[in-house]
Amino acid sequence: MQKLKIAPTKTTFGINFDPKRSVMEFSGNSYPPNPMDFFQPLIDWAKNFLFKNPDKPVTLVFKVHYYNTTSSKYIFRILELLHEHHKKHNNINIVWHDNGQDDEFYDTWKSLLYELDLPHEVIQSTDS
């Protein structure tokens, strides 16, 4: 399976989905003009990876500063895939890099994880 790497832009996340390391990383900001065009390949990659590697532990890393409501809907779709996978295989972990800039943003994100009952950890950081 190929790595999926997308350089960040002003309006889209940087993406580094690495099947060898079993890591899916989001970084930067997301408010794309055509969210489906940006997120559908990410969803497809995640489905394919989870299907082909059911027993492999997966880490989802968020080093994000901002995402809009539309982006959150697509992120939620990816989290739902991970939730279903985790119920069967118990091998998902999510890492949130908290830069301490927006507690409300973190609280919203955290509520998504609690709703889906996904294990996560928070790393306090000052970098992006």
- CATH of 4-124 given 3.30.310, 3.30.750, 2.60.40, 1.20.120: 3.30.750
pLDDT tens digits for 25-71?
999 999 999 999 999 999 999 999 999 999 999 999 999 988 898 99
> To the nearest whole number, what is the mean pLDDT of the chain?
89
- The pLDDT of residue 102 is 61
Task: Enumerate the domain spans of the chain.
Answer: 4-124
Spell 94-125 as b/e; 16+ CB within 10 A means b.
bebbbbeeeeeebeebeebbeebebebeeeee
Q: What is the pLDDT of residue 52?
A: 95
Cα–Cα distance measured from residue 63 to residue 84, given in angstroms and rounded to the nearest whole number: 23
Q: Is pLDDT at 128 greater than 50 in this prediction?
A: no
- Strands 23-30 and 4-6: what pairing? unpaired
Give, to the nearest 10 degrees, the angle between helix 35-52 and helix 69-89.
10
Question: Which pLDDT score, from 0 to 100, does residue 82 have?
Answer: 93
pLDDT digits (tens, 9 = 90+) for 62-118: 999 888 989 989 999 999 999 999 999 999 999 988 776 666 667 777 777 778 888
